[in-house]
Amino acid sequence: MKSNYLLIAYAILSAAALDAATINTTLTVSNGSGMVTSTDITISGPVTLTNIGNGTLTATAAISETTLSGPITITLTDGDTLTGTATLPTSVLTSKTSDSGTGAVSITGGTGLFAGATGSFPSISGSGFSTPTGFSVSFGGAGTITTASNSGGGGGGGGGGNTPPTGPTITGVVNNYSFVPAGFPNSGVAPSSIFTIFGTGMAAASNPQTLNTSAAPGIPTTFNGTSVSVTVGATTLPVGLYYALPVQIAGVLPAATPTGAGTITVTYNGTASNQFAIQVIPSGVGLDTYLGTGSGLITMTDAHTAVLHDYTNSAATGEKVTLWGTGLGSDPSDSDTVFSTTPHAVNQASVQVYFGAIQATVSYAGSSGFPGLDQINVIVPAGITGCFVPVVVVVNGISSNFPTAPIANNNGPCTDATFGFTGTQLSTLNGQTTVKSGSVFVGQSISPDANGSPMTNNFASANFESVTGASFGSSGGYATIGSCVVTEVVTAAGGVVTSTGLEAGTITLAGPGGTNYTLTENTTGSYAQLLPANAITGSGGTFVYTGAGGTDVGAFMATINLPNPILSWTNQGAGATVTRSEGVLVTWTGGTPGSNVYITGISSGANGATGTFTCYAPQSALQFMVPPFVTGTLPAGTGTLSVENLTDFISFTATGIDHGSGFGFTGNLIDSTYQ
């Protein structure tokens, strides 16, 4: 069994109550995704407003040589919104550090508690880097928001009302392991599952933090002065609590909870919180991850020895392993609060497990004995190996989160040559508190301009940074060839991350025709350069990066061979409308033999939720079917679909960095509707 694993997803997402007319707050957007056209950039990403809550920020910014400016909308988890305008320096798109200059955000209105709100964030700084499909951008700064007096009621069932709430305040409720936010098809909480409540003032401080035991008489329904109840229709039930902290509570949703729209209420020292809206679903699995972020390395053990698998101790094909999580569905045969010595299967006939796109054989799916903690015993299928094999559990058509597993033909370190990593390297990087890295790429992207006409951009980028406080492998993004991962916008815990640019000196790029380009260093360690229209031709070619060396990074050389011939996406029209329940087939011709194809879909729903799938396929297959269990996790809405020919990641070395990698790509992006 797995009593010690319950704390792995012990993530504190601090979010506070709206308890004054003028609120001092810090706005933080983490790893927002950006798409560039000839005239503007669209940005969407998770946002945190301290003393207010979490949500999603969307923006469309006009581009000039020096600034990005345009309207923004912040949609909070309870449905309330804030609207305004933002101005950022253009260099934020390619700066890996936050010294790219400053901008500002002004709040001019909103809905719910923020109807008529005003506010100002006068000094916003940020950082970003290029990706094969656009940019990843993070920015933030301190400011104030003033709510209008007698503002209207809150939206989305997040508590709302005509006056700001007092006492304990709930700002979010999610599955304890997946952290999938509201607004996605696989969000919601199932009966008999462990769920997490985020908020403020919800319990007495506990030092040390206490995890309640489920040994008889079981986990309590009142702890640290706190109790929790769930109401669906005319049914109200108490919730057993694993722990209760001022900003976070974990409990087990009773098996008898009806499905449908409901509310969660926290009562602390006799004062009830806002009634926070939840959706109780029949099943919705969240898989536990090694670092408790909901993505990255999965918590997976040998079913016989209980030994944890990691990058240097991969699971073997044919091995029976145990996946840990919660959300298989109502389990009335086992207690909501007391450990069961004879746990029962739960919905086992409906449970499907996929390693990549290959379905595995399930031998047991049900309670682990601990209230709310499920285990799934499954045979690792043959046919896919690597360090980043996505694992997804589907129950009655609802997919879990998408953590990744290291799989090898035999136990031992995994290998994933496509990304230039070995299991030993990953284990070493994962164990470091500071990782110094470098990356280079060159690519060509064809995407619609403001008028919908195809526009070709050629560009090169190099980034060198030292990151402290992050855990390598705690986020998704990599997927072994022949598989897909999904990212659903959510602010995950993981501590304070500090990124510092590393000076690498002058960096040049030599093209196949002998032309040399010198990259511009926008900020320390962040280099970029737009290339002329003839820099990348239909025959691809060899591009050589040369770094002269600087104060932090030594000299280096990295060679990238772009695809030859250029890949042609042959069924672009089929991607204009994606039926999420059916998946999407992508076909192509051309591309470099032995290379890979990178397929990315992004959809943003009306409620502010944004989902992204990323798939990797071998070029030689000439087609790839993105499975329905992947596309089905995205919200209905509008977005993009892109297909690119991606080179294998190459590795390079230089003094002053722990790891260096590079890649090249050519591809196309189209606008898509996800229905």
Q: How many domains in the chain?
A: 4
**Domain extent at residue 377:** 288-417
Query: What is the percent of the chain where pLDDT is above 70?
Result: 85
Least confident of 149-163, 327-341, 606-620: 149-163
How far apart are alpha carbons 347 and 170 in whole angstroms? 31
For residue 370, being part of any structural domain is answered with yes
DSSP secondary structure letter of residue 44? E
Q: What percent of the chain has pLDDT over 90?
A: 56
User: In whole angstroms, how far apart are CA 32 and each of 29, 38, 98, 636?
Assistant: 7, 20, 15, 19
CA angle 580–58–187, rounded 5-degree value: 45
Note the pLDDT of residue 531. Answer: 92
**Which of 25-34, 347-356, 376-385, 450-459 has the least mean pLDDT?**
25-34
Residue 47 has pLDDT above 90, yes or no: no
- Apex 472 CA angle, 470 and 477, nearest 5: 110
Q: Are 92 and 137 in contact (CB under 8 A)?
A: yes
Mean pLDDT of the chain: 84
Residues 412 and 538 in one domain: no
State the average pLDDT over residues 457-472.
80
Give dist(CA 458, CA 454) in Å, integer. 13
Q: Which H or E run includes 424? A: helix 423-431
Task: Say if residues 659 and 650 touch (Cβ distance below 8 Å).
Answer: no
User: Is position 267 within any domain?
Assistant: yes
Q: Residue 505: inside a domain, yes or no? A: yes
Query: Would you state the pLDDT for residue 638?
Result: 93
Residue 190 has pLDDT above 70, yes or no: yes
Same domain, 135 and 165: no
**Residue 272 resides in a domain:** yes
Whole-angstrom distance, CA of residue 405 vs CA of residue 390: 6
| pLDDT score recorded for residue 19 | 31
- Distance, CA of 64 to CA of 67 (rounded, Å): 5
What pLDDT shows up at residue 382?
95
Mean pLDDT on 87-96 = 65
Q: Residues 247, 344: one domain?
A: no
With bands split at pLDDT 50, 70 and 90, how would you rate the model's confidence at 494?
very low
Residues near 342 by beta carbon (within 8 Å), at least 6 away in sequence: none
pLDDT for 148 equals: 58
pLDDT at 159: 36
Using pLDDT thresholds of 50, 70 and 90, give the confidence band for residue 12. Answer: very low
More confident residue, 253 or 2: 253
358 domain-assigned? yes
Q: Kindly tell me if the per-residue pLDDT of 4 is higher than 80.
A: no
In 10 A of CB 38, how many CB atoms?
Answer: 13
Identify whether the C-beta of residue 441 lies closer than 8 Å to the C-beta of residue 130.
yes
How many whole angstroms separate alpha carbon 206 and alpha carbon 573?
57
What local confidence, expressed as pLDDT, does residue 15 receive? 23
Residue type, 276: F
| pLDDT at residue 350 greater than cutoff 50 | yes
State yes or no: pLDDT of 162 exceeds 60.
no
Q: Is residue 471 part of a domain?
A: yes
Q: What is the CA radius of gyration of the chain?
A: 25
pLDDT of residue 10: 28
SS3 620: helix
pLDDT at 134: 58
Q: Which single residue is written with the structure tokens 């923006």?
A: 59
Residue 66, pLDDT score = 58
Residue in 443, 462, 490 with CA at minimum distance from that of residue 134: 443
- Rounded to an integer, the average pLDDT of 62-87 is 77
Residues 270, 296, single domain; the answer is no
Residues 196-244 have pLDDT tens digits of 999 999 999 876 678 999 999 999 999 999 999 999 999 999 999 999 9
Of the listed ranges 75-84, 308-317, 407-416, the one predicted with least confidence: 75-84
Reading across the β-sheet that carries 541-547, which strands appear in turn? 516-518, 507-510, 541-547, 556-562
CATH code, 167: 2.60.40.10
The answer to whether residues 66 and 176 belong to one domain is no
Give the residue with greater pLDDT, 164 vs 364. 364
* Residue 296 pLDDT greater than 80, yes or no: yes
pLDDT of residue 455: 87
**Tens digits of per-residue pLDDT, 570-597?**
999 999 999 999 999 999 999 888 889 9
Residues 207 and 314 in one domain: no
pLDDT at 475 over 70: no
Q: What does the block give as tokens for 167?
A: 């006492």
Say what the pLDDT of residue 538 is: 80
Q: Is pLDDT above 50 for 568?
A: yes
Q: Is residue 6 part of a domain?
A: no
pTM: 0.75
Domain match, 385 and 477 both: no
Cβ 192 vs Cβ 255: under 8 Å: yes
The burial class, CB within 10 Å (0-12 / 13-18 / 19+), for 152 is: middle
What is the C-alpha to C-alpha distance for residues 526 and 473, in angstroms, rounded to an integer? 22
pLDDT confidence bin for 9, thresholds 50/70/90: very low
Q: Tens digits of per-residue pLDDT, 403-435? A: 999 999 888 999 987 787 788 888 888 777 788
Residues 6+ positions from 399 with CB-CB distance below 8 Å: 186, 392, 393, 486, 629, 630, 632, 633
- pLDDT higher than threshold 80 for residue 41: no
Q: Based on the domain organization, do 183 and 120 belong to the same domain?
A: no
Residue 535 lies inside a defined structural domain of this protein? yes
Query: 515 and 476, same structural domain?
Result: yes
Same structural domain for residues 274 and 328?
no
* Residues 181 and 255 grouped into a single domain: yes
The yes-or-no verdict on residue 472 having pLDDT over 80 is no
What pLDDT is attached to residue 91?
66
Q: Are 279 and 375 in contact (CB under 8 A)?
A: no
Q: Are residues 105 and 168 in the same domain?
A: no
Cα separation of 149 and 162, whole Å? 9
Residue 11's pLDDT band, with cuts at 50, 70 and 90, is very low
160: confidence class by pLDDT, cuts 50, 70, 90: very low
> pLDDT tens digits, residue range 631-645?
999 999 999 999 999
Lowest mean pLDDT, pick from 31-40, 347-356, 465-474: 31-40
Neighbouring residues of 432: CB distance < 8 A, sequence distance ≥ 6: 472, 658
